[in-house]
Amino acid sequence: MSDDLLAAFIEDSKEHLESIESDIMALEDLEGAYDEELINRIFRTAHSIKGAAGFFGLNAIGSLAHKLENALHLMRDQKLRPDRPTCQILLEGFDQLNAMVNDPGSSECLDISDMLSRVQGLLTPEVKLGTETAMSLPSPKGQSIFDVDMFTLDQGLKGGKFLYHIEFDLIHDIHRKDKTPYDIIKTLQDSGLILDCKVDFDATGTLEDGFAQRIPLNVLFASIIDPDVIGMLIDVPAERIRELEKSMFQTQSPQGEKAAPPQACTLGDDSPWKMEDSQAVLLFGERFELSQIDEFRRCFLEAPPNNANLRLDMSDTRHVDAASLQALASALKTCAGLNRGLSVVIAQELREQFQKFGFAWMLENGS
């Protein structure tokens, strides 16, 4: 992937990982003694990579970095002894992480379950239970704003840290101010811990009702920075910074039943949709941007009325903007509400633009 934004993430991650082997070996040489500065440096490497991986849809990298982060949280609390066997597992985990960062395109295809299990095995039974207890912050409408395990939430609050829900707008706070989501990540990581971050899929609206002129990016942020000062750190209105308490989180309820399999349908000759096997396909041109959104909405609402899966074929598309990506997000939400499958097919060049605007998550949701 040659996208400048992803390249910056890879370069920063490689810089963090450059000294990881010597740091872990230095820790091992202490024969079980704790070196707070050394452990913190190793921890920040795992946390920095985990915090940014989600923006690029690099879920496997994020999962491994999170497991390593959990073990290092325990070590920072002096509840995990940095002896030779422990350091060896950490070293192998970071070696695997380094290989994945150097080839992010292939990282999602790797089976790292054994490595994840070995790192998870470093945790105490109590901490394991905490990492497996899913918590969520519900919105006033009942949807989950954040999903985080109990152990991560407790670590974020530890040491008198304040917990914040910060809502950025990918259009107004980031894109139109010539910033990137990665700029936001790096700024926040310099002064605290990012516990979770996600685009608010529901807030984009649906194509039937019209979509909002904003794309919220919600960040769950823990920091020692006082609520009176936090607004000076980030360039968003004060009403979009909310201080949280642990009591606001709920144990996550199990997911609902899967939707029924799609049924076949037929299309008229004048429909913008064409049938290919069991899917209704909508073809896109070379560009998809703000001026074409109304036409896209009209076409989408003319999709076959039955339960056929839909596919948006953007194989020939070479340019998108933030507004058109918001329209795609609204289409995904519309289909999700109807229990209807929707996939988005794009060229590699376009994938880099999705990543640039912080929409790699959409490809994951729409696959």
Summarize pLDDT for 214-251 with one digit per residue, the tens.
778 889 999 999 998 898 888 888 899 999 999 999 88
pTM attached to this predicted model:
0.69
Residue 265, in any domain of the structure: no
Residue 264, in any domain of the structure: no
Q: Which residue has the higher pLDDT, 58 or 222?
A: 222
pLDDT (tens digit per residue) in 317-336: 888 877 788 778 778 877 87
Nearest one of 27, 26, 76 to 47, comparing CA atoms: 76
Clarify whether residues 318 and 341 are in a common domain.
yes
Burial class, 162, CB count within 10 angstroms (exposed 0-12 / middle 13-18 / buried 19+): middle
Clarify whether residues 169 and 236 are in a common domain.
yes
Residue 179, in any domain of the structure: yes
pLDDT (tens digit per residue) in 263-293: 333 444 456 788 887 788 888 888 888 778 7
Averaged pLDDT, 67-92: 95
Clarify whether residues 279 and 244 are in a common domain.
no
Give the model's confidence band at 254: pLDDT under 50 very low, under 70 low, under 90 confident, else very high. Answer: very low
Last residue of a domain, one of 130, 152, 180: 130
Clarify whether residues 236 and 306 are in a common domain.
no
Total structural domains in the chain?
3
Clarify whether residues 72 and 112 are in a common domain.
yes
* Domain around 126: 4-130
Residue 261, in any domain of the structure: no
Residue 82, in any domain of the structure: yes
Residue 191, in any domain of the structure: yes
Averaged pLDDT, 189-199: 86
HEC readout, the chain: CCCHHHHHHHHHHHHHHCCHHHHHHHHHHCCCCCCHHHHHHHHHHHHHHHHHHHHHCCHHHHHHHHHHHHHHHHHHCCCCCCCHHHHHHHHHHHHHHHHHHHCHHHHCCCCCHHHHHHHHCCCCHHHHHHHCCEEEEECCCCCEEEEEEHHHHHHHHHHHCEEEEEEEEHHHHHHHHCCCHHHHHHHHHCCCEEEEEEECCHHHEECCCEECCCCEEEEEEEECCCHHHHHHHCCCCHHHEEEECHHHCEECCCCCCCCCCCCCCCCCCCCCEEEECCEEEEECCCEECHHHHHHHHHHHHCCCCCCCEEEEEECCCCEECHHHHHHHHHHHHHHHHCCCCEEEEECHHHHHHHHHCCCHHHHHHCC
Last residue of a domain, one of 130, 164, 186: 130
Last residue of a domain, one of 220, 251, 282: 251
Instruction: Write down the mean pLDDT value for the chain.
Output: 82
Residue 331 and residue 291: Cα distance in Å, rounded? 17
Clarify whether residues 158 and 75 are in a common domain.
no
